Structure 1
Amino acid sequence: MTELFISAFVTLFVVIDPLGCAPIYASLTSGASGPQRRAMAIRAVGIATAILLIFALWGKQLLGVLGIALDSFRIAGGIMLFIIAMDMVFEKRTQRREDRAHKIAETPEVEDVSVFPMAMPMIAGPGSIATVMLLMSRADGIGERSVVMAAVLATLGLMLVSLLAAGPIMARLGARIEAVITRLLGVLLAALAAQFVIDGLNASF
C-alpha cells in the first residue's frame, strides 16, 4: 500500500504541478488583497477536488456509457501525459500557462480566477483527470482505491499550500530553480507515461 501511495502521489504531483501553478496564481492575483487571495485559493482547490473525485469515482462508468475500453483509455492517457512531459522538459507548458495568465490579467472584468483558469484547466485539467482515472483503473479493491484517493487529496493539499504561499515561494525559488524543477519532473512524468502505454498495450494484446 505504501508503494502504491508513493507511486500515485508522485504521478499526481508531477501532473498537477503545485510548484508550477504557484507563480501563475501569484501573477493572476497580484492586485488582490491577502484575504481575497486566500479565499480564491481555497475555492479553486475545492472545486478542482470535487471535479477529480467525480472522475475518480465514476469515470469508469462514463467510459462504459461511451463504449470506450479501459485499455484504450490507458494508452490514450499515457500519450497525453507524455505530451505534457515533453512540454515540461522544453518549457512549452510553462509558456502556455504564462500566456493564459497574461490574457486573463488583461481582461479587466475578470476578478475571481478561482474557477477559471485555476480550478480548470490548471489544476483539474485533461492531464490530471486522465491520470486520476488511470490510477483508479489500476487499483484493485476498496483498499487500493482508498490509497489512490488519499494520494489525490494529499496532492491537492500541497496545491493549496502552494497557492497560499505563492508569493513567498516565488521570491525564494526564482525563475531558474523553477525551470530546473519543472524539467526534472517532466523527465519523470515521461517515464510514467510510457509505463501507462505499455500496460495498456500488454492488456490489449
Structure 2
Amino acid sequence: MDPHVSLFVGMFTTLLAIINPLEAIPVFLGLMKGRDAAEQRRTAIKACTYAVLLMFFFLFFGNLLLRLFEVPMSMIRVVGGVILMRIGFELFAPSDSGGMIPKSNKPGEDVSFIPMAMPIMFGPGAIATVMGLTSTIKDSDRIVLSFLAVALAIIGAMFVTCLSLIYSKAILQKIGPQGIDAATRIVGFFVASMGVGMICHGIVEFLQSYGLLHGGIGAH
C-alpha cells in the first residue's frame, strides 16, 4: 500500500477510535437536552469546526511547541501513550465520576467549544496522536503529500463525527444504549492497545537517541 494512503488510513481510524462518535452521542444529547433540532445541528457543526481548527493548529505548530519547551518526541509518544491507555480503560470500564469526560453543563450554555470540541473531541489522546505524527511527516521525503494525507484524515474523521452528532437521536434509537455501550467498550480496548504501542515505540526511540539501543524494534 502507498505510504501516504497508509498514513491517511492510520490517522483516520485512530482519530475515530479516540473521538468515538458513538460514545459522544449520549453525552451530546445530554448537553443538548431541551433544545430544538436546529440548535443541535448548529452546535454539532460548530463543535466539529472548532475541533478541526485545533487539530490543524497542533499539526502545523506541533514541532515549534516541542522545540519551544525542549521536549523530545520520544517523551511525547510515551506520555501520549499513557493518556491513550487511561482513556481506553475509561471507555472499557467507565467510572461513575465520569473521569476525563465531562457529562454536564449549565442550562442554556454554549457547549460547542467546551466541552464538545475540547476535551470530548479534541482531548489529550487526539493531541498526542496529532503531535506524534509530526515527526513522521517531518522525516517524510514527500512532506506536502504527507501533510495532505493527514489533513484529509482529520477532515474525514470530523465529518463522520459531525454526521453522528447531527443524527444522534436516530442513531441512539437504532442502536440503543446497550449497543453504544458495547461498541464503546470494544473501542476502549483498542484505544488502550494503541496507547501501549505508543509507549513501547517512545521508549525504543528514547533508548536509540541516547545510543543505548541499536537497531531492533522500531528502528528506521
Pairing of 1:51-200 with structure 2 (within 5 A): 51-92=54-95, 96=98, 100-102=102-104, 104=105, 107-108=106-107, 110-139=108-137, 140=140, 141-200=143-202
Which amino acid is 1:177 matched to?
G
Q: Aligned-pair distance for 1:145? A: 2.6
3-state SS, counterpart of residue 63 of structure 1: helix
Which amino acid is 2:131 matched to?
M
Superposed CA deviations along residues 93-132 of structure 1, whole A, max 9, x for unmatched, are x861798333x1xx33x43211221111111112211111
Alignment partner for residue 22 of structure 2, among 9, 19, 22? 19
Identity fraction in percent: 28
CA contact (8 A) 2:8 2:149 kept: yes
When the two chains are superposed, the root-mean-square deviation of aligned CA atoms in Å is 1.9
3-state SS, counterpart of residue 199 of structure 1: helix
Q: Aligned-pair distance for 1:150? A: 1.3
Q: Aligned-pair distance for 1:162? A: 0.8
| TM, length-normalised to structure 2 | 0.84
CA contact (8 A) 1:136 1:145 kept: no
Equivalents in 1 of 2:185, 2:93: separation in Å?
Answer: 7
Q: Aligned-pair distance for 1:32? A: 1.0
Distance change (3 Å), C-alpha of 1:34 and 1:180: same
User: What stretches of structure 2 of length at least 5 have no aligned partner?
Assistant: 208-220
Q: Aligned-pair distance for 1:8? A: 1.5
User: What stretches of structure 1 of length at least 5 have no aligned partner?
Assistant: none
Q: Aligned-pair distance for 1:138? A: 2.4
| TM, length-normalised to structure 1 | 0.90
Alignment partner for residue 204 of structure 2, among 198, 202, 205? 202
Give the structure with the higher percent helix: 1
Equivalents in 2 of 1:55, 1:111: separation in Å?
Answer: 27
User: How many residue pairs align between the two structures?
Assistant: 200
3-state SS, counterpart of residue 35 of structure 2: coil
Equivalents in 1 of 2:100, 2:24: separation in Å?
Answer: 10
CA contact (8 A) 2:87 2:100 kept: no
Q: Which has the higher contact order (CA 8 A, sep 6+)?
A: 1
CA contact (8 A) 2:90 2:99 kept: no
Bigger Rg over Cα:
2
Segment of structure 1 superposing worse, 187-196 or 175-184: 187-196
Q: Match of 1:48? A: 51
